[in-house]
Amino acid sequence: MKPEAATPSFFRRACRRACKRWLLVVVLASSACPRSALACKIKPDPDPFPIDTASSDAAPAPSLTSVTVKRAQHAPPGNGDCAEVGRLTLQFSRADGSALPDSVGIRLTVAQGRLPQAFTIPTYPLLTTQGLLAFAGGDDPSQPIDFTLQATGVGAGGAESAPIDIHVNDPGQSSGCAMARRAGRPDIIPLAGFALCWLAFARARRRS
């Protein structure tokens, strides 16, 4: 005795169950990846250096120890994971190589070139943390960076030292790898799941 053939309604019910399961998987996967729902929180500039006009402390000339450029993964806009943010850190010391005290601020000015996209250099003296200044902002990693800063040491009373030049350079990423993951790109897996559900439903209707 041959088994009874499956009815069209059976296929429709099976398709609905499969689609419901897939939708549940998509919802759970989305909730497990909250980074896209969170805003990117960065501190773009260091804090201002406090000036005490009653102080007469001299400002020692700073010496640049290192420059670190970390390019973004892709150009703005972002999706909440800060992958569109580039970073620039400057490490200073005294001219004799000893640590720069926090009682000495640093004033930076752009002497030549242009800053990366969405980067800013405040005009006021900046408070260092063990001689370190860190900046962050929107950055297109496919574009080269080439600019020169002037840095002066700032004493507690506002006196400034002679400036030093800081050349910041990065050639950028010439390949298309950095642009492969763009903010706002629709996820392929949910779209593929919906397409499969639609095909299964259309196939069941044809059988009916």
In this predicted structure, what is the pLDDT of residue 25? 52
Tell me the pTM: 0.66
Q: How far is CA 127 from CA 4, 47, 85, 155, 176, in A?
A: 81, 5, 22, 11, 38
Measured between alpha carbons, how far is 21 from 38 in angstroms, rounded to an integer? 27
Between 13 and 65, residue with greater pLDDT:
65
In this predicted structure, what is the pLDDT of residue 182? 44
DSSP string for residues in 94-117: ETTSSBPPTTSEEEEEEEEEEPPT
pLDDT above 60 for 180: no
DSSP string for residues in 50-77: P--TT-----PPEEEEEEEEE--SSPSP
* 197 close to 22: Cβ distance less than 8 angstroms: yes
Measured between alpha carbons, how far is 207 from 177 in angstroms, rounded to an integer? 45
pLDDT (mean) for 16-34 = 53
In this predicted structure, what is the pLDDT of residue 178? 40
pLDDT level of residue 177 (50, 70, 90 thresholds): very low
In this predicted structure, what is the pLDDT of residue 41? 83
**Contacts (Cβ under 8 Å, ≥6 apart) of 151:** 62, 64, 90, 92, 106, 107, 108, 163, 164, 166
In this predicted structure, what is the pLDDT of residue 146? 96
In this predicted structure, what is the pLDDT of residue 186? 45
109-156 pLDDT, tens digit each: 999 999 887 788 999 999 999 999 999 998 999 999 999 999 999 999
71-111 pLDDT, tens digit each: 999 998 878 889 999 999 999 999 899 999 999 999 999 99
Counting Cα atoms < 13 Å in the Cβ hemisphere of 165 gives 7
